[in-house]
């Protein structure tokens, strides 16, 4: 089976830094995605990691360690609009197919 774990809820202060962790145990691995989802809206792509290491993109960075089955999303200089759910997803398909398995999401609340 597939197992993707991330905290259910987190709270952080405007202007601060927050790290959202994700651990996974999956039968296959073709890369790990982070998505942002505001209530009532579609998930929006944030990052994709397939090799170990840190990918930086503006205020958002994502890290992957395949040997540890671990990733994190780092958000810097938090803004109120960053209040959303953050979804960790692993592409678990084989043989050239694609299949994203999602965690339940981390609901992040930014407070002034």
Where along the sequence are the contacts to other proteins (CB under 8 A)? 4, 30-31, 33, 35, 41-45, 48, 50, 87, 89, 91, 93, 97-105
- What is the token pair recorded at 68? 């540890």
Q: Which is nearer to other proteins, 40 or 112 (CB)?
A: 40
Residue 60 C-beta: closest distance to other proteins, Å: 15
Q: ∠ at Cα 23 (20, 28), nearest 5°? A: 135
Q: ∠ at Cα 24 (101, 55), nearest 5°? A: 90
Residue 100 C-beta: closest distance to other proteins, Å: 6
**Which DSSP string corresponds to 8-58?**
SEEEEETTS-EEEEEEEE-S--S-EEEEEE-TTS--EEEEEE-SSEEEEET
Q: Which is nearer to other proteins, 8 or 13 (CB)?
A: 8
Residue 50 C-beta: closest distance to other proteins, Å: 7
Q: Which is nearer to other proteins, 8 or 11 (CB)?
A: 8
Q: Which is nearer to other proteins, 10 or 93 (CB)?
A: 93
83: β partners: none
- What is the token pair recorded at 54? 């840190």
Residue 1 C-beta: closest distance to other proteins, Å: 12
């Amino acid at each position: 089976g597939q197992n993707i774990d991330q905290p259910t809820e987190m709270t952080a202060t405007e202007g601060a830094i927050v790290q959202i962790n994700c651990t996974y145990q999956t039968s296959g691995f073709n890369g790990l995605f982070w998505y942002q989802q505001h209530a009532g809206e579609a998930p929006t792509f944030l990052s994709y990691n397939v090799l170990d290491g840190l990918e930086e993109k503006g205020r958002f960075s994502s890290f992957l360690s395949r040997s540890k089955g671990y990733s994190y999303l780092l958000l810097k200089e938090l803004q109120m609009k960053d209040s959303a759910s953050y979804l960790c997803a692993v592409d678990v398909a084989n043989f050239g197919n694609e299949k994203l398995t999602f965690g339940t999401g981390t609901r992040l609340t930014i407070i002034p």
